[in-house]
Amino acid sequence: MTASVAGTSLSMAGALNRALADALEDDPSVLVFGEDVGPLGGVFRVTDGLAARFGETRVFDTPLAESGIVGTAIGMAMNGLRPVVEMQFDAFAYPAFEQITSHLAKLRNRTRGNVSLPVVIRVPYGGGIGGVEHHCDSSEAYYTHTPGLTVVTPGTPDDAYRLLRDSIASPDPVIFLEPKRRYWTRGELSDVAVPMDRALVRRTGSDVTLIAYGPMVATALETAAAAVEEGWDVEVVDLRTLSPFDDETVGASVRKTGRAVVVHEASGFGGYGAEVVARVTERCFHHLHAPVLRVTGFDIPYPPPKLEEHHLPSVDRILDAVARLQWDDEVVRGYGA
Amino acid sequence: MVATRERSLLPTEEPLSLLRKDGAPVTDSPLAMPDDEVLLELHRRMVIGRRFDTQATALTKQGRLAVYPSSRGQEACEVGSVLALRTEDWLFPTYRDSVALVTRGVDPGETLTLLQGGWHLGYDPYQHRVGPQCTPLATNTLHAVGFAHAARVKGEDTAALVLLGDGATSEGDTHEALNYAGVWHAPVVFLVQNNGYAISVPLSKQTAAPTLAAKGVGYGVPSVLVDGNDVAAVYAVVREALESGGPTLIEALTYRIEAHTNADDATRYRTSDEVAAWLDRDPVDRIEAHLTARGLLGPARKAEIAAEAEDFAASVRAKLNVDHEYDPATLFEHVYATPTTHLREQAAALAEELA
C-alpha cells in the first residue's frame, strides 16, 4: 500500500492527482485514459506526470470521442480492469450519455450481478472560471436521475483524495464530478475515514441548515461566516455523494435546526435540489418552521463569462434566502405558504 | 487449414465466396475451404438454428414471447461466425442474434429470457464468453473493442467478434469503435450482417458508400466483403480475421427473409419478388447441396439432424411453456453491489402493498 497522505497540503487538483497515482500504484488493474490525459497531463493537469510514471499502457490518450471512451471502458471493466476515465469538460460528456445510462448504469442489474462495472468517470463540472459556452455545465441531475450510478462530488482537497480513492475501489460505476473552480483551492489531507455514501456536517449551527455540495460547499461556509453578523448560527452539510442520498445525516441536521436552504449552481427547475427539498420535507415536516428553499442557478442556458456572476449562487443570495425563512413565524409572501 | 491472404484495407469489388448458389465450389476463391468435419458441423448447426428460429416465431403467436426478431435467411452469418470463434474468444451479439447464441451453447431458454420478458438478460456472460445481447444499436461495438484491448493489456490471446447490422453502421458508435480498434490495433472482428433493411429502411437510404466494407479504409481497418449466404466463406473469413491479431471489418451480404419482428409488416416496404429471389439463394440449401454432391451428406444423416432439430425445438417449447412465478422483490436486486437504504425502503413498500 502507498504511504499515508495525512498532513500533506495540496490543491484539489493535486489531491486528485495523488489519488490517481496511489490507485495506479496499489492496483495493477487500474487504467487512466481520456483526451489529453497522457503526456500533457490533462487540460487541468489532474493527470500530470502519471503517463511518465506508469507508462502509456496504463495512462493514455484516446481518440477524441467520448462515447468511445466510456464504451470501451465498459468492455475493459467486463474483462477485469478498473478504468478511470476523464471527460474533458461537463458538456463534452454528453456524447457518452447513451453508454452511461443504457449500459454502464444497467449491466449489473441486467445480468443479475454477474457483470460488475467498476468504472469511474471523472467530469470537471460547474462554472465560475470564466469559461466559454459548453465548459461550465452542472450536469449532476442527468446522472442522479439514473439508477445504478453512484454520483460523487468533493468540496475539499481532503475529500477529493478520499472520495476518488473510494470511487476507484467501488464495485459500482461512479460519476465523479470535480468542481473545477475549486481545483486550485489548497487544503490539508487527513486520515479520517468517512464512508463515501455519508454526508458530512462541515460546520455545526443551531438555526438553519445549508445543504450544499461540490463548488457550493465553500460558498456555503462563507455564507455561514457572514451570517454570524446577522445573528444566525448556520450549519453546513456537505452531501459529498449525491446518489445514493444520505437521508440520515441531512434529516438529523434539519430536524435539529428546523430550517433549510439547498444550494447548487445548476438550474433549479427539475434539478437535484428539488429532490433534496422533497426528501427533507417528507421526512422532517413536523420539525420545519419554514418551507425549505433553494438557491440555484436560473433556468437559463449557462451564461457567457461576462454575465456568469449573476447566475451563480452568491453569499448575498444565500443570505437573502436564509432571511426569508419565517423567523417571525409570519407567512412569507410569494412562497405560497 | 485456412490460407493466410494478404490483408487489405480495401475489400474486393465482388464478395468473396467458396460455394456458388447451387453449392458447387468456387474454383478460383482466395479462401481455403474449411475441413469436411467443419462443413458438416456448420450444416448441422444451421439446420438446428433455423428450426430454433421458426419455433421462436411460433412462440410469439402463442403469446409465449413478447417479441422475436427473426434471423431466418442469415444462418450462414449466425452459425458460420460463431463456429469460427476459438474457445477463448468472445461474442458480442445484438437482439437479432439468438441463433448465434444457441450456436455458442447458451441455453435456449436463457437466450430468449429478454424477448420472453422475464428479465432483461437470461444468461451469465462469463459462462459462454458471450457479452450481453445489445438492443441500442452499435453500442456493443465499443464494448467489444474495450474487451479485446483489455485482453491485450493482460497479455491474453483473446479476440472479440461483434455482430451488427447495416443500419447500425450509421450509428456514431460504429465509427468510434472502428476508429478506436484501428488506433489500438485491437483484435476485434466487426461482422456487419447486411440484410438489406433497417426495419423498413433500405441500404440505399442508409449510406452513399460503395459498400459498407469500404468504410474500413477510413479507419485503417482491413476490410472484407463476403457472400453472407455462403457459410463456408463466412467461417473462413471470420476465422482468418480472429487469428490476425488486429481489427477487421467484414460485410456479409445476406437477407432478412422474415419481417423485422413478428410485429412488423414487411409487405409495406419490399416486394415478394425480392424475397423470392433471396429464397432462391438460401444458405442452408446451399451447404446442403454442396455436402450432398460431395457424398458427405445422405438421407440418413439428414434425418438424424432433422430429428435433433425437432428435439431441440421441443426443448425450447418446454422451457418457454413453463409459467414462471416472478418475484417483485427481485426488481430491487443488483441495482448496486450493496442494496441502498433508499431501495430497501422501496422494496419494503412494494412488499407491503402486495401483502
Phi (first) and psi of residue A301, to 5 degrees: -55, 150
Per DSSP, which regions of B125-214 are E strands?
A: 160-165, 188-194, 197-198, 201-202
Q: Lowest-confidence range among A194-198, B192-196, B259-263, B331-335?
A: B259-263
B180 contacts in chain A (CB < 8 Å) = 62-63, 65, 68, 72
Contact between B145 and B176 (Cβ < 8 Å)? no
| Contact across the interface for A80 and B150, Cβ inside 8 Å | yes
- Complex prediction ipTM: 0.96
Helix (H, G, I), strand (E, B) or coil at B262: coil
| Contact across the interface for A68 and B142, Cβ inside 8 Å | yes
Q: What is the mean pLDDT of chain B?
A: 96
Given CB atoms, is A99 within the 8 Å cutoff of chain B?
A: yes
Is residue B260 annotated as part of the catalytic site, yes or no?
A: yes
The pLDDT assigned to B1 comes to: 42
Kindly tell me if the per-residue pLDDT of A330 is higher than 60.
no
Kindly tell me if the per-residue pLDDT of A331 is higher than 80.
no
Q: Lowest-confidence range among A190-194, A228-232, B39-43?
A: A190-194
Q: How far is A51 from chain B (nearest CA, A)?
A: 15
Kindly tell me if the per-residue pLDDT of A332 is higher than 90.
no
Cell of B203: 441500404
Is residue B256 annotated as part of the catalytic site, yes or no?
A: yes
Burial of A192 (0-12, 13-18, 19+ CB in 10 A): exposed
pLDDT tens-place string over residues A136-155: 999 999 999 999 999 999 99
Catalytic residue among B20, B152, B175, B269: B269
Q: What is the mean pLDDT of chain A?
A: 96
Given CB atoms, is A245 within the 8 Å cutoff of chain B?
A: yes
Contact between A138 and A266 (Cβ < 8 Å)? yes
The DSSP 8-state label assigned to residue B289 in this structure reads: H
Kindly tell me if the per-residue pLDDT of B113 is higher than 50.
yes
Buried b (16+ CB within 10 A) or exposed e, B50-78: bbbbebbbbbbeeebbeebbbbbbbbbbb
Given CB atoms, is A101 within the 8 Å cutoff of chain B?
A: no
B139 contacts in chain A (CB < 8 Å) = 71, 98-99, 102-103
The pLDDT assigned to B2 comes to: 46
Q: What positions of A carry a catalytic annotation? A: 135
d(CA A287, CA A284): 5
Q: Which residue of A31, A54, A58, A76 is the best one to mutate when testing the B interface, meaning the one whose CB has the most B CBs within 10 A?
A: A76
Q: How far is A141 from chain B (nearest CA, A)?
A: 17
The pLDDT assigned to A334 comes to: 45
Kindly tell me if the per-residue pLDDT of B44 is higher than 70.
yes
B146 contacts in chain A (CB < 8 Å) = 71-79, 83
B110 contacts in chain A (CB < 8 Å) = none
B144 contacts in chain A (CB < 8 Å) = 75
d(CA B17, CA B29): 6
d(CA A237, CA A28): 36
Q: How far is A217 from chain B (nearest CA, A)?
A: 24
Given CB atoms, is A150 within the 8 Å cutoff of chain B?
A: yes
| Of B164, B158, B160, residue with least CA distance to B133 | B164
The pLDDT assigned to A329 comes to: 56
Residues shown for chain B: 355
Q: Which residue has the higher pLDDT, B324 or A243?
A: A243
d(CA A31, CA A38): 11
| Contact across the interface for A75 and B147, Cβ inside 8 Å | yes
The pLDDT assigned to A337 comes to: 39
Q: How far is B125 from chain A (nearest CA, A)?
A: 7
pLDDT tens-place string over residues A161-187: 999 999 999 999 999 999 999 999 999
Q: Which residue of A60, A78, A84, A196 is the best one to mutate when testing the B interface, meaning the one whose CB has the most B CBs within 10 A?
A: A78
pLDDT tens-place string over residues B52-95: 999 999 999 999 999 999 999 999 999 999 999 999 999 999 99
DSSP element (H, E) containing A296: strand A293-297
Q: In what order do the strands lie in the sheet with A241-243?
A: A59-61, A30-34, A82-86, A120-125, A174-179, A150-152, A241-243
Is residue B334 annotated as part of the catalytic site, yes or no?
A: no
